[in-house]
């Protein structure tokens, strides 16, 4: 039984460490829902949520400044295969909620 207890403790520690690793894990639906509930609904928000955690965790708007986002979005719109309208909508969403510089 002691071995079970140790295993459970180890897995708890691993879970906590994983949670602190930064970025928003797209598989954690509860956390994702809570994070996105803070923004009012918009087209840009919906596209961001659908397209922007396919290759990495969500990098939320407030993790970058409004000066940084357009340059990042020039690279990421291509990666996410956004058309010009979709890109503009996402740029509007992320810069609106960007980190204060
Ligand atoms: C096809 C894979 C892919 C998709 C889709 C993608 N990214 Fe990325 N993203 C990357 C890679 C690879 C990097 C690291 C290299 C780099 O910065 O260009 C990155 C880096 C980033 C960074 C950090 C860059 C920095 O300079 O701080 C941000 C922020 C980001 N992505 C946001 C987004 C957003 C927003 C979207 C949705 C529009 C998105 N990504 C879609 C692959 C992707």
Residue having the nearest C-alpha atom to atom 28 of ligand 1? 59
Helices 29-37 & 43-51, crossing angle to 10 degrees?
160
Angle at 90 between CA 18 and CA 83, to 5 degrees: 115
Q: How far is CA 24 from CA 3, 6, 7, 49, in A?
A: 32, 28, 26, 11
Helix (H, G, I), strand (E, B) or coil at 24: strand
C-alpha 17 to ligand 1 mean position (Å)? 23
List the chain pLDDT tens, one digit each, 101 residues. 777 777 657 665 555 445 444 589 999 999 999 999 999 999 999 999 999 999 999 999 999 999 999 999 999 999 999 999 999 999 999 999 999 98
Distance CA 1, CA 84 (A): 60
State pTM to two decimals.
0.84
Give yes or no for residue 54 CB within 6 A of ligand 1: yes
């Amino acid at each position: 039984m002691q071995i079970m207890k140790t295993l459970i403790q180890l897995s708890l520690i691993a879970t906590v460490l994983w949670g602190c690793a930064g970025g928003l894990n797209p598989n954690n639906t509860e956390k994702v829902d809570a994070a996105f509930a803070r923004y009012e609904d918009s087209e840009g928000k919906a596209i961001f949520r659908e397209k922007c955690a396919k290759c990495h965790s969500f990098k939320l708007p407030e993790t970058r400044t409004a000066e940084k986002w357009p340059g990042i979005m020039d690279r990421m719109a291509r990666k996410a295969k956004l058309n010009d309208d979709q890109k503009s909508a996402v740029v509007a969403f992320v810069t609106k909620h960007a980190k204060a510089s």
